[in-house]
Structure 1
Amino acid sequence: MTKRLTAAAVEKLKPTDKRQEIPDAGSDGLRLIIQPSGAKSWAMRFRRPDGTHAKLTLGSVDLSGREGTGTPVMGSPLTLKEARWLAAEVTRKRAAGVDFRKQVGETFPEVAKDFITDHKDRRRTWADIARMLGLDVEKDLSPIEGGLAERWRNKRIGEITSNDVHAVIQECINTGVPGTKAAPRKSDNRGRKMGDALGALFKWAARHRRDLIHVNPVVGVYRPAPPSQRQRVLNARGEIRQADELRQFWKATGIMGQPFGPLFRLLLLTGCRLSEIAKMTYSELSDDLSTLHLPGSRTKNGRPHVVYLSPLAREVLKSVTPVEGCPYVFSTKRRTRVSEGSKAKAQRTHVSGFSKAKAQLDGLMNIQDWRLHDLRRTAATGMAGLGVPPHIVEAALNHVSGAKAGVAGTYNVEAYMEERREALERWAAYVGGIAADR
């Protein structure tokens, strides 16, 4: 039997090993929720106009014994009296056509969108995480067709279980990320990225949506471990001066032409990460092309970084034909839908399609088991082999571990500007000598 709750009863009711949901006969749809942890909150149950069930969390239970003053605010601690007042207000507004599900954002796509919006300015990889969660970064984070957000569009964030998480991670490993083309082979990396994306989302939700989620379903679920640290550099027999592979790389990138040939060469000459060069704009370059100024939003550690461009790097840049009206140095055409109902138009954006370009490059070379990121390691190893001190190599690559980690990084703020320039010029001169068979 449903009974009318009292303030004393709300305080005395004890948790059990299962979640309790106790209706209040004194208010239409109001429920007292008691978690096994002892946490208590107020919620409402009702049917939406389409007949589906809905749950609306009003706020946590206020057991301070205070008298409610002013108008109760949804999401704040509420006494029994305040919870009943809010429940009556919700009932009145629902009768007027207000959709409270949209207001509180309790479904997976709504919470995921809030999470990504909160991380846009603080996390460099927010766009990649959004795509893993099934949100379109080019369409105001709307659900991608067939993506995870569309698949779980009617799931409340608190209804997602460990089995759901496990299933989608395994799907990513075996066939690909939901909403993308089926992958030809298995990939632990895809599963790891999905696990990381969901882990970050639910960790955020546990802190910012405590009324919606009480158990993190990602905890304890298997996800592939990170790969072992790579040691691969482009050389032969582990000696950078025996540069057979460097010579092949330089020759092959010359055959490839624009935009990927010059782009890949700059990765080797600067030691930059792929995204730092691929998304490079003319506004980030100095007028004489001697420096590339990367803002913190474009670097992995969030720190602005000046990349010195050697004479050889400047020659490579000058070989790139600018595209009129395009801000990116390396650009490509991508078909995008400008407005709803309109035809897709080809618009210039930063270059993409690196998998195909890498496959083309491999076809022009006789090098086994290497990745584009190995070019960054090759540059670092090459500078060290030429006698550049480790702390200068790390400064040139905007790397804060190693020599400048911990206390050293806190107190040593020297940027080594001149030393970085000399190091990259020495490295480029060495690569140029390899290219010219000197």
Structure 2
Amino acid sequence: MAEKLTKRVVDAAEPREQRYTIYDSLISGFGLRVTPSGEKSWIFEYRPGDGGRHQSKKRITIGRIGDFTADQARKAAETYRSQVKLGGDPQGEKASRRKALTFAEVARLFLSDHVDAKRKVSTAAWYRDLFERVVIPKLGSTKAADVTRNDVAKLHLSLKSTSSQANRALAAISSMYSFADRQGLITEEFNPAKRIERYREEGRERYLSSEELARLGSAIRKAETDGLAWDINPNGKTKHVAKKKQTTTIDPFAAAALRLLIFTGARLREILHLKWQHVDFDRGLLMLPDSKTGKKVIVLNAPALAVLASIDRLGGYVIAGASAATEDEKPRADLKRPWEGVRREAGLEDVRIHDLRHNFAAFGAGGGMGLPLIGKLLGHSQPATTARYAHLDADPVRRASDTIASGLALAMGEGAADKLADANIVVLHKKREQ
């Protein structure tokens, strides 16, 4: 017989040889299940659909008695009964949710079916690193449909020390959910990365002065000839090396790569992946079949041509790597070690290798060259990208400032015309003054 399930009834229910259920007298289908081991849990049984006898019973477990009181479990059972009356199937929905894809599974589908198929290899590698190293460890085990805006906001906040990476992670997650929406993997238009405020990113600008460039050039020459000093770590695994100051040189290809970066403003991968077949000495051009912005032409100046002419041809790549002239020849991976030594010798520890590209643009802007021309030299696809150097294009601004200030100074009687002339100021005609 059914009876009202209370704490007294729960406590009095003893285990038997067979599992049994005590049903509640208030809500049909709600009951207390007791196993032979003594475990007690709340359940709700129902017939889906129209509820007729031809429908098999289904059972959904609400939870253990330690997690829910009798009243709490009864409220949950009442909610399930209302869903059934409206044609729902609580157990079927629970099973479907159990089978739903996790965030990690959707992320890897996104990487393989979208990023790898539609993005450049380098871009795809960046996406994969971001997801595998940063995003999946935080959200991977959660069902993709259960990730909330709060979950993504917490991830974004945890990366606040690297605001740029935090914003890139947010954009990548948003892109992943747009892909999942198109593929029908989640509820339509569900995207927990939306409406989360991005961090403000301060543009990092580091340009080299003439004196710093002189130190940099000297450091490269020293690195490829006499060698740069380095200290042995007494605690390191260097058994066969004398514990004293040593020197090390950089190979001529690394030195050439650094000079080409300085003289052309090219990106690091554009130089490291450059093949001899892409070098047109007759016209002074690098004909790159692919780059970050697609097919690209780099105009070679005299210093860059001189560097290229001095490089030995050991294989297909201009900057030969360890596998040069082999069947499995690959481009050099990076310039981390030689660049670290050179910038330390030059006292430029805060200068990144990509800053050499910015410095090329800065010299052009400071020399009065127009931004469209600089953008063409750098291979920018959007004028807005070159606009970051607008404040360095000082010549026209300075001329305008001098003209305005000269008129103001004369009107105020500040300084004689002959003194103003020393500052390349044009004196307005006397008639204008009257």
TM-score range, shorter chain: 0.5 to 0.7
For residues 264 and 256 of structure 2, the distance between their equivalents in structure 1, rounded to whole angstroms, comes to 12
For residues 350 and 228 of structure 1, the distance between their equivalents in structure 2, rounded to whole angstroms, comes to 30
Any residues of structure 2 matched to 1:39-58 within 5 Å, and which? Answer: 45=95, 53-55=98-100
TM-score, length of structure 1 as denominator length: 0.52
For residues 108 and 372 of structure 2, the distance between their equivalents in structure 1, rounded to whole angstroms, comes to 45
The secondary structure found in structure 2 opposite 1:195 is helix
In the alignment, does 2:307 pair up with 1:316?
A: yes
For residues 264 and 382 of structure 2, the distance between their equivalents in structure 1, rounded to whole angstroms, comes to 19
Any residues of structure 2 matched to 1:112-151 within 5 Å, and which? Answer: 112-120=111-119, 125-134=123-132, 148-149=135-136
The secondary structure found in structure 1 opposite 2:287 is strand
For residues 113 and 251 of structure 1, the distance between their equivalents in structure 2, rounded to whole angstroms, comes to 47
* Aligned with 1:255 (options 201, 210, 222): 222
Q: Which residue in the other structure is 2:49 paired with? A: 4
Q: Which residue in the other structure is 1:277 paired with? A: 271
Any residues of structure 2 matched to 1:17-416 within 5 Å, and which? Answer: 45=95, 53-55=98-100, 107-120=106-119, 125-134=123-132, 148-149=135-136, 154-169=141-156, 187-209=162-184, 211-212=186-187, 214-221=189-196, 223-228=198-203, 230=205, 232-235=206-209, 243-256=210-223, 257-258=250-251, 259-286=253-280, 288=282, 290-295=284-289, 297-300=290-293, 302=294, 304-324=295-315, 327-333=316-322, 348-367=329-348, 369-402=350-383
1:295-333 deviation per Cα after TM superposition (whole angstroms, max 9, x unaligned): 3x4133x3x221121232122123334444xx4322544
What is the percent sequence identity of the aligned residues?
20
Structure 1 residues 403 and 287: CA distance shift in structure 2, 3 A: same
Structure 1 residues 349 and 254: CA distance shift in structure 2, 3 A: farther
- Matched residue type, 1:379: F
Structure 1 residues 373 and 394: CA distance shift in structure 2, 3 A: same
- Matched residue type, 1:318: A
Does the aligned pair in 1 maintain the 2:107–2:176 contact within 8 Å?
A: no
Does the aligned pair in 2 maintain the 1:384–1:393 contact within 8 Å?
A: yes
1:260-287 deviation per Cα after TM superposition (whole angstroms, max 9, x unaligned): 3221211121122222223222232226
Q: Offset of 1:369 from its aligned partner? A: 3.7
Structure 1 residues 349 and 161: CA distance shift in structure 2, 3 A: farther
Deviates most, 376-385 or 309-318: 376-385
Q: Offset of 1:158 from its aligned partner? A: 1.9
For residues 357 and 369 of structure 1, the distance between their equivalents in structure 2, rounded to whole angstroms, comes to 15
RCO higher in structure (CA 8 A, sep ≥6): 1
**Runs (5+) with no aligned partner, structure 2:** 1-45, 51-78, 224-249, 388-434
- Matched residue type, 2:317: Y
TM-score, length of structure 2 as denominator length: 0.52
1:349-396 deviation per Cα after TM superposition (whole angstroms, max 9, x unaligned): 333344444322221113464333332232223234445443322222
* Higher radius of gyration, 1 or 2: 2
For residues 384 and 163 of structure 2, the distance between their equivalents in structure 1, rounded to whole angstroms, comes to 32
The secondary structure found in structure 2 opposite 1:228 is coil
Q: Offset of 1:165 from its aligned partner? A: 3.0
Does the aligned pair in 2 maintain the 1:390–1:403 contact within 8 Å?
A: no
For residues 280 and 335 of structure 2, the distance between their equivalents in structure 1, rounded to whole angstroms, comes to 27
How many residue pairs get matched? Answer: 281
Does the aligned pair in 1 maintain the 2:279–2:287 contact within 8 Å?
A: yes
Q: Offset of 1:132 from its aligned partner? A: 0.8
Q: Which residue in the other structure is 1:80 paired with? A: none
Structure 1 residues 125 and 117: CA distance shift in structure 2, 3 A: closer
Q: Offset of 1:172 from its aligned partner? A: 5.0
Q: Offset of 1:54 from its aligned partner? A: 1.0
Structure 1 residues 45 and 386: CA distance shift in structure 2, 3 A: same
**Runs (5+) with no aligned partner, structure 1:** 6-17, 32-43, 48-52, 56-100, 135-145, 174-185, 236-242, 335-345, 407-438
Q: Offset of 1:131 from its aligned partner? A: 1.6
Structure 1 residues 287 and 380: CA distance shift in structure 2, 3 A: closer
Does the aligned pair in 2 maintain the 1:2–1:24 contact within 8 Å?
A: no
Q: Offset of 1:233 from its aligned partner? A: 2.0
Structure 1 residues 147 and 219: CA distance shift in structure 2, 3 A: closer
The secondary structure found in structure 1 opposite 2:194 is coil
Does the aligned pair in 2 maintain the 1:292–1:308 contact within 8 Å?
A: yes
